[in-house]
């Protein structure tokens, strides 16, 4: 009996070995295989960039611009960007006299406002990029405007929110077009007349004009001389019958 029992153990042993090997393999498979390698730099950059965009607040942009200005005179363009936290765009009150740009200007970081000017000179008085970091804070921009010709001029504003310590834009607004009417002063028309006169003189030539004046003066003297040398005979009075 003892001999038969030993034979049974010998027969079962290979089966137990196979089952143990299978269980070990299943355990390795359930652990997920080899550990994953490190994420690529681009994947980390994407994750950080999405996180930076999600961390931005909403903002309100308002501007104050002259409706009209005169040639040769100066005017001021003012722009304010206010951080309103997570509120809907336009919920913060604007200063009196400011026009609201009906689009969100994300804040909670570095905001830059750039002005592109057509037929008008725009000299910035403030840095283009400014921090607008927390709800309630405001960035202020201003430009000195001057125009030399009458007509309609345009100033186009674009606000850009940048990623931290980089030139990477997280958000760029649609262009904000501001039209300004420029009227001419009397001094402008006097200056224009002088410019036209100078242009005519430059085109014809001063010598040609002087020659024409001399010819007219001599022709007039000759006519006077001929008239005095050949006076008309006096008319005899009619005789009475």
Instruction: Tell me the pLDDT tens digit for each residue of 174-228.
Output: 999 999 999 988 766 556 555 545 555 555 655 666 676 676 777 666 666 666 6
User: What is the structure's pLDDT at 24?
Assistant: 42
Asked if residue 167 belongs to a domain, the reply is yes
Same domain, 126 and 203: no
Same domain, 177 and 63: yes
Q: Which residues pair with 180 in a beta bridge?
A: 153
Same domain, 160 and 210: no
Contacts of 48 (CB under 8 A, 6+ apart): none
The stretches of the chain forming alpha helices (DSSP H) are 2-30, 41-54, 186-204, 206-229
Asked if residue 117 belongs to a domain, the reply is yes
Same domain, 167 and 59: yes
Phi/psi at 48 (nearest 5 deg)? -65, -40
Asked if residue 12 belongs to a domain, the reply is no
Report the number of distinct structural domains present in the chain.
2
Asked if residue 75 belongs to a domain, the reply is yes
Condensed to tens digits (0 to 9), the pLDDT of residues 95-147 reads 778 999 989 999 999 999 999 999 999 999 999 999 999 999 999 999 999 99
Same domain, 70 and 104: yes
Asked if residue 44 belongs to a domain, the reply is no
Same domain, 148 and 92: yes
Residue carrying the six token digits 């007349």: 193
Same domain, 62 and 92: yes
What six digits make up the tokens of 22?
A: 């299978």
pLDDT exceeds 60 at position 2: no
User: What is the structure's pLDDT at 103?
Assistant: 92
User: What is the structure's pLDDT at 50?
Assistant: 93
Question: Burial letters for 87-115: b for 16+ Cβ neighbours within 10 Å, e otherwise?
Answer: eebeebebeeebeebeebbbbbbbbbbeb
Asked if residue 32 belongs to a domain, the reply is no
Same domain, 92 and 193: no
Tell me the C-alpha distance between 119 and 148, whole Å.
8
Same domain, 132 and 203: no
Same domain, 109 and 196: no
Condensed to tens digits (0 to 9), the pLDDT of residues 161-180 reads 999 889 999 999 999 999 99
Asked if residue 114 belongs to a domain, the reply is yes
Tell me the C-alpha distance between 135 and 216, whole Å.
80
CATH code at 130?
A: 2.60.40.10
- Could you tell me the pTM of the whole model? 0.64
Closest CA to 135 of 98, 92, 166: 92
Same domain, 127 and 110: yes
Tell me the C-alpha distance between 58 and 78, whole Å.
20
Direct distance between the N- and C-terminal alpha carbons of the chain, in angstroms, rounded to an integer? 198
Domain that holds residue 196: 186-216
């Amino acid at each position: 009996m003892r001999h038969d029992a030993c034979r049974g153990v010998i027969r079962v042993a290979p089966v137990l070995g196979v089952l143990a090997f299978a269980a070990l393999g299943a355990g390795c498979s359930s652990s997920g295989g080899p550990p994953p390698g490190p994420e690529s730099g681009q994947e980390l950059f994407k994750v950080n960039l999405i996180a930076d965009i999600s961390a931005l607040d909403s903002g309100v942009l308002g501007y104050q611009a002259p409706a009209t200005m005169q040639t040769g005179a100066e005017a001021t363009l003012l722009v304010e960007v206010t951080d309103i936290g997570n509120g809907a765009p336009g919920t913060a009150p604007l200063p009196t006299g400011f026009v609201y740009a009906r689009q969100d200007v994300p804040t909670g970081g570095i905001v830059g406002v750039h002005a592109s000017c057509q037929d008008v000179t725009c000299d910035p008085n403030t840095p283009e990029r400014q921090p607008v970091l927390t709800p309630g804070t405001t960035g202020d921009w201003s430009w000195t405007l001057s125009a030399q010709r009458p007509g309609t001029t345009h100033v186009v504003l674009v606000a850009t929110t940048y990623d931290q310590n980089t030139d990477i834009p997280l958000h760029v607004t649609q262009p904000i077009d501001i039209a300004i009417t420029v009227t001419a002063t009397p001094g402008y028309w006097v200056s224009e007349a002088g410019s036209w006169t100078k242009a005519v003189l430059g085109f014809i030539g001063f010598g040609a004009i002087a020659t024409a004046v001399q010819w007219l003066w001599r022709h007039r003297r000759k006519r006077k001389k001929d008239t005095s040398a050949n006076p008309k005979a006096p008319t005899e009075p009619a005789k009475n019958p």
